[in-house]
A and B are shown apart, each in its own frame.
Chain A
Amino acid sequence: MKLPLGGVSMKKAMYSLLLVSFLVFGVIASGCISSKTETGTTTVTVTKSVAPEQNVLEIYHWWTAGGEKQAIDAVFKKFKEKYPNIEIKANPVSGGAGVNMKMVLQSLMLAGKPPDTFQVHAGYEMSPYIKANQLTPIDDIWTDDMKKHYPQVIQQMVMFNGHYYAVPINVHRANVVWYNKHIFEKYGIDPNSIKNFDDLIKVAQELKSKGVTPFALGDRNKWPATHVFEVVMLSVGGVQFYQDFINGKITDPDNPTLKKVLEAYAEYLNYVNSDHAAKTWDEACGLVYKGDAAMTIMGDWANGYFKAKGWKPDVDYGAIVLPSNVYDLVIDTFVLPAKAAHPEAAKKWLSFIGTVEAQNTFNPIKGSIPARDDAPLDPYGPIQKQFIKDLRSSSTKLVPSITHGSAVPPAFLSDLNDIISTFVTNKNVDETAKSIVNAVKQDLLPNKIKEWKLT
């Protein structure tokens, strides 16, 4: 019988047998490799231990690249100097508090395998875990010293039902308007003349009449549009309205202030780059950097962006805070999962990041500012120094950010991102107001576990 592609059956059987043995060997070998090999930058040899020893710290965070990675690595280094017996297993998941981190953490929690600690924004972002009793309160970690040196609103952001659940390591500011200094100088615009939203629009009108795109927006990933929304809300609606909004008190689609805020945003959108839906936030900053746009509203991590491109603060670019007496807080914290395998190690970590030493190691590199009010200012750049002073000033109003996981339940934020993303294309104030109010009823109020007191 002629066999199509040739070959003797005996030989084939031999080869198959060899192949199978090779495969089995390979799987076993790979199993051994995966448990005993040295890894990259921050982790040390991992031994395949059976019982969880208290000298391992498995930590999830999202500072995966560039300056942010350097910053957290510096803290790890200091931590290891202090606790040389604790091995740090860092597991970065890129994308911030976004898609992947959520999927991964929630699945791990439900499978009973949370890490020892993980990064999460202060406020509502941790509420699903708290509601499910997946986080251990850490009142014992919050020493009197810490309670004295963390601003009240920040402490509020990590407290639920009267208990502390997290330790903040930094503070970012969301309500900043970054501007290209060269453009301002060229058209004779004085940044100090921008004291409120109306001033901002006036400047935008002037720039537009001279053929310059006033504002850069990059809302391909939706949240930057929500980010601008909250800044407009603070500037036009005021802190009291903001507080009512995040407390779920805005339930009437005809609420005049809500309408006013949306109309102001619609006005803002008249001065925005036409391709905003295709750009990411950093590409929008890039427009400002290139001189294709004059300003962009973004958190103070934009500072890091401009510096990385070689720009100098106060020379090439500047920051205007809007509203000037408000600090819109974006705060990274770490928590203690209830089923952590190494809670003692986690607690040491949490205590450590609440110290001046840790915060002044992390923040100068990261570009944010320390959460503690007793951290010295020396290591910081000019914009950061100013922000630190603002944070510590009693005349500044501190508010939790909506967009960055603090002020509202994640379910509502998810809806808001979609709603604002639609608004940015159709500018329909009435419909958007209706959608927002619907979302408040459906996904904010049922999940509300906190009453914000900002004023």
Chain B
Amino acid sequence: MRTTRLILYIVLIFFMFIYLLPFWSAVTTSLKTGRQVTMTTPIQLVLPPYFGAYKTAFSELKRPILNSLLFTTFATIFSVMIGSITGYVLAKLLRESASKKLLMFITLGIFLPYQSILIPLLRIITKLGLYNTIPGMILTHTAYGVPITTLLFTNYYYEVPDELIEAAKVDGASPLKIYTSIVFPISIPAFVVTAIYQFTNIWNDYLFGVVLTRGEEAMPATVKLANLKGSFVANWNIQMAGALIVAIPTLFIMIALGKYLIRGYTSGAVKG
């Protein structure tokens, strides 16, 4: 028994290195001066660390990070909420045949290559007067998030035993009440999983950001991050510092929500 435990830990640590290696390159590079970046390999760490890259990156990224935080948070909340209520209807309120058809209809959109719809998207957003605005980003990301959030929630709700719902119906509750008092509370794990995915996805999006915004008012962090790289200027240290800064919110979400997710399961509540 002891040896298997040991092997287990060794394997885990081995994987840990693999996962950390690229990160390590980013970290070491972000702490070097431009000259040091050229003179050393990414694996080497240079001491004392140089923080100038972080200073520059941070001052450039302040406003875009705020923009991204705003629209990512709202678009995540909206797309997840819509996914949940839609999933509820599809899984619980409709006959199976209708439900399957609608599910197909909604989730077909998941596979849309975004480059192919840039032009119609731009037209729609401009007509709505939302070009280069944060609400425009929120609307876009919500819309393109709905197919997958719907799929994830429908998936999840299919598992919820019908008896739970039936019991409430017998008590005379309306679908809305059933949703708010029964379905919503037990969806927490699904919310968390979907929210992590959506937040990360939206936060890391570059394409919509670069097409739908013009100027700093609504520019996402990812677009600004790309701009830390000049066309004929190479400053890997600033880019890596910026990349790590921009990764912080998603990291935070993964860690915080991830813990909550795992914890939320231990009561065995889901399968009731």
Contact = CB atoms under 8 A, between A and B. Distances in A.
Given A40-B63, A66-B235, A280-B234, A104 B211 contact: yes
A39 interface: yes
Contacts of B71: 30
Contact of A27 (B123, B131, B135): B135
B119 interface: yes
B232 A93 contact: no
A449 B20 CA distance: 52
Contacts of A310: 35
Contacts of A425: none
A90 B168 CA distance: 58
B159 interface: no
Given A37-B63, A64-B230, A104-B211, 10 more contacts: A16-B180, A27-B135, A30-B70, A31-B133, A68-B233, A95-B226, A100-B210, A104-B210, A301-B232, A309-B38
B240 interface: no
A4 interface: yes
Contacts of A13: 180-181
B215 A39 contact: yes
B122 A108 contact: yes
B60 to A, nearest CB: 7
Given A30-B135, A309-B34, A103 B216 contact: no
Interface string B192-226: 00000000000000010011001111100000001
A65 interface: yes
A213 to B, nearest CB: 16
Nearest to A300: B232
Interface in B102-138: 115, 118-119, 122-123, 126, 131-135, 138
Contact of A4 (B34, B74, B132, B272): B272
Q: Secondary structure of the B side of the interface?
A: helix
Contacts of A91: 214-215
Interface stretch (A110-118, A187-195, A243-251, A411-419): A110-118
Contact of A64 (B74, B167, B211, B229): B229
A94 B234 contact: no
A334 B176 CA distance: 58
Chain B CB count within 10 A is highest, among A40, A96, A280, A305, for A40
Contacts of A95: 226, 229, 231
B232 A34 contact: no
Interface residues of B, number: 58
Interface stretch (B1-9, B22-30, B149-157, B182-190): B182-190
Contacts of B229: 64-65, 94-95
Contacts, number: 166
Contacts of A65: 227-230, 233, 235, 238
Contacts of B228: 64-65, 94
Contacts of B115: 103
Contacts of A290: 38-39
Nearest to B206: A100
Nearest to A28: B135
Interface of A: 1, 3-7, 9, 12-13, 16, 23, 26-27, 30-31, 33-35, 37, 39-40, 43, 46, 58, 62-69, 89-96, 98, 100, 103-104, 107-108, 110-113, 115, 280, 282-283, 286, 289-290, 299, 301, 304-305, 308-310
A99 B214 CA distance: 17
B134 A33 contact: yes
B78 interface: yes
B126 A305 contact: no
Contacts of A113: 122, 126, 131
B217 A37 contact: yes
Contacts of A68: 230-233
B18 interface: no
B77 interface: yes
A364 to B, nearest CB: 16
Contacts of A301: 232
B106 to A, nearest CB: 22
